[in-house]
Structures are given as structure tokens and as C-alpha cells.
Structure 1
């Protein structure tokens, strides 16, 4: 959050000097963050992935690293939007954490999808929260194709990973895990476009507000005691 506010402050000064526009700032900010986010998702992700004993094939690890990478890009994009609207550091942290907290509550982990109340938390918040697609993509990546012992049905019985996804985690199995990650990448594009629109709007509205406040101060009478 500190870097997001710092980037916005630098952009404000550079924009006033006429060095570049909003589009160049959004594209440059996106491209410059990609290598660092990729390294963060790859190196610590590899340490955590193999320590907890997840599936060890290169395809499953690649999907896990891509999922971690795209979710970090989404969080960064969200915090950039918050920083462009709320320039105060403390209020920005509170706002960004509140938005992500609401998304996590109805992402399908703390409460299963069928247990979410319908009016607001299930529709539309459950489908807006990117945690839904991240959780389901991760579940599919780990459980699909595996078979587990099922002691509830007997000593020699087993249950498939696909059945666990449907009955236990209530995952939508009508599409593959790669569709989930495609949706997340599409949300990154939407978030960045929203960030572009917010910066353009703030750039136009802020001078108008300052002008109105300045004119009101000039016209206000001075009362001497």
C-alpha cells in the first residue's frame, strides 16, 4: 500500500510536468511489477508447495505458481485503485483490507457456496470475489485425478477427488482449472482498466474541487472580533 501511494504521488508530480500521461503510467506500472511478482510467486511458492506435500508434477506446480502470480497482480491492482481514491496511508490500508476481507468471507472457503445468503453475499459478491476462482482452481489442481480412502463407507472403500470437489468443497466442475486462471487474468485486465478510469476521473475532478473550495474561501465574509 505504501508503494502504491508513493507511485501515485510520483505520477502526480510527473503528470503536472507533462512527462507522460495516464495510459503510459498504467502500462509502465503493470510491466514493471510483473518480474518482481513472478519471482515472488516462483521462489517462495516452490518452497511452500513442496514442503506441504502437494502433487509434485511440473504441470501442477506451474499452475500453482501462475495462480499465485495472478492473485498477487489482482491484489496489487486493487490496492492501486484504492490508493488513487484514498491517498491517506492509514485510510488506504483500512479500505483495501476491508474490501479484501469482504471478498474472502464469500470466496467459498470460510462459508461453502450453498451456505452463503442469497440477496447480497451469494449474488453478486460470490461471483465478483476473485478468491472464488483462486480457491476453485487450487482445489481442482490438487484433487482432480486422485483417489482417497473413504473410511466412512468401509475399510476398503475409496472416494475420487472429483467427488470430493463436488460434495465436500462444492466446486463448479463444469469447466477446467485453466478456465479459472483465465478468468483471473481477465479480472486483472478489468482491474487495470478500472484503475485507468479512476485516475483519469480523479485528474479531472480534483482541480474542479480545488477551484470550488478556493472560490468559496474568497467569497466568505471575514468576521472580526
Structure 2
């Protein structure tokens, strides 16, 4: 791929030369003296880099990558910015503590009420910005594809809110809570398979268990399947088949697990919502019992 890219822009690799050395000489300013002497032409390094960058930006590969990055970054931005509501979570916990002491409602009622009261707002946040970003970047136009995109975004928002409620119940300090929540979110984003492909993650900790614990893994893979499944692409590689299937792109380029459908990824995300809510419920009850024991002792 690199050899064809350089050759199509006027910088073919000479015969019997190491391609890596040729690429390095072409784009590395340290070899300008060799360029001036005529080893690879009279074009300066700055001009070569400018030609290659402009060629890449005008290619179809760049447009496909740009669309996918825009889609993933939109999801990551919305979920990460949910941390900004941490201060309101702390106030909710203080209000719940007072109401709980007065015997107005129990822990279960609070968890259920808090979850359902936020659903309309999270749904609105997911659909409106999602519709703007989805159709602007030229993703698949089908209603089912957009509905799946909005659903995954919506479930991710609920997941992040549940996660921040767990943090608020454990870390009552505002600043420490923000730092803790941002750290957890950052780790999940880094190990979700987007910034580093799954096979490139170190195995002892980041690949297992963090890669499988991060909800971003299932959101990203669901997005990939939603966009690529059912499509075929022209193959520009010499000696290869004329077209590439979506499964080949998903497996070879993005290392997506294609053994199950995108709806399974969505179901896993919904299951994580239930698990996070149960964790929140258990933590609140545990904190109550610990405080009661401390008062008695």
C-alpha cells in the first residue's frame, strides 16, 4: 500500500533499494543534501511531504477514515462530557440522605426514580446531536442504521451516568470525584479498541480484563458493524480480488468480533446498565450499614 502510494505521487522506490530506506529518505529533512545531489530528484523534503499530505487528503481512504473518526469521537465526547454533571449527582446524594433519614422512600425507589427521570433528557441529547453528526458525515441513510446509532449513543449516556452515580456514592468530594470519574472514563476509552487495536493492547492488564470490561468496546464494535455490514469495497491492492467484503474489512482492518450481530453488542450494553444500577444499589446499602455500625460503636 505504501509503495503504491509513493509511486502514484511521483516517488517510486528504485529497484534493489529497501523500501523503508526510500520512504525515510523521501520525507526526512536530514537527507536534503542527498536530494540536492540528485539521489531522489531535485524536490526538497518540505515539498515532498506537502505533495504526499495533499494526495492523502484527497484520497477516498482519508474520507472513509474521517467519517469513522467523526462518528466515534462524537460518541466519546458525549459520554465523556457526562462527567460535567457530577456536581448535581453529589447534590442528589445529599438530598437522598436527608429524605432517607426522614423515611420518605427507600434505596430501591431512589435508584429506579433517578434512572427513569433522566431517560427523557438523555434520549433528547442522543437523538438531536446524533442526527446532526450522523447525516453530515454521510453515513448509511437507512432508518434502521440511524436508530441503532442513536440507541447505542443513548445507552452509553445512561451507562456513564450510572458510573458517575457509583463514583458519587463512594467519593463524596467534588474534585476527587471528577478526577476519579475522568480517570475511569479515560481508561475505558483507551482500551475500547479504537485508539489501539485489540491485538496491539498489552495482554496482562489492558487486553484482559480491561478491554472486555470497557463499554466502549461494545459500542465501537456495534458502530463498526452498523456501518460496514452488507457493503463491498473496491480493492486497489495488486494481485488481490477485485472487491473486499465488509467482513474482511471488519476483521482485518478493525479486528472486530464478527461471530455475533450488532444487536448482541447493544444487548451487552443494556446488561451493563443493569449491572451498574445494581452496583449503585448495593454500594448505597453498604454505606448505610457501615455508617450505622460506626454510630453504634
The alignment's TM-score, normalised by the length of structure 1, stands at 0.90
Shift of 1:208: 3.4
Residue 45 (structure 1) aligned with residue 134 (structure 2): no
Q: 2:238 aligns with which of 124, 144, 153?
A: 153
Q: Distance between the aligned counterparts of 2:264 and 2:183, measured in 1? A: 28
Mapped pair 1:80 → 2:165: yes
Comparing 89-98 with 156-165, greater Cα deviation is found at 156-165
The structure with the larger Rg is: 2
Q: Does 1:142 align with 2:227?
A: yes
Per the alignment, in what secondary structure is the counterpart of residue 119 of structure 1? helix
The equivalent of 1:22 in structure 2 is 107
Distance 1:156 1:123 in 2: 35
Who is 1:34 aligned against?
119
Shift of 1:150: 2.3
Instruction: State how far apart, in whole Å, the 2-side matches of 1:44 and 1:105 are.
Output: 23
Equivalent-residue separation in structure 2 for 1:194 and 1:35 (angstroms): 23
Give the CA deviation at 1:122.
1.1
**1:207 deviation in Å?**
3.7
Partner of 1:186: 271
How far off its partner does 1:119 sit? 1.1
Of 138, 145, 149, 1:64 maps to 149
C-alpha distance in structure 2 between counterparts of 1:23 and 1:101, whole Å: 30
- Runs of 4+ in structure 1 deviating by more than 4 angstroms, as ranges, are none
CA deviation map 1:81-120 (0-9, x unaligned): 0000011111101001101111111111111111111111
Match of 2:291 among 196, 206, 219: 206
Question: What is the deviation of 1:206?
Answer: 2.5
Q: Look up the match of 1:101.
A: 186
Pairwise CA distance, 1:12: 0.7
Larger deviation, residues 84-93 vs 203-212: 203-212
Aligned to 1:116: 201
Q: Which segment is superposed worse, 149-158 or 187-196?
A: 149-158
Assess, with a 3 A threshold, how the Cα gap between structure 1 residues 187 and 155 changes in structure 2: closer, same or farther. Answer: closer
Q: Does 1:8 align with 2:93?
A: yes
Aligned partner of 2:213 among 97, 115, 128: 128
Q: CA deviation at 1:149?
A: 2.3
Q: What value does the CA root-mean-square deviation take over the aligned residues?
A: 1.5
TM-score scaled by length of structure 2 = 0.69
Residue 157 (structure 1) shift: 2.6
Corresponding position of 1:222: none
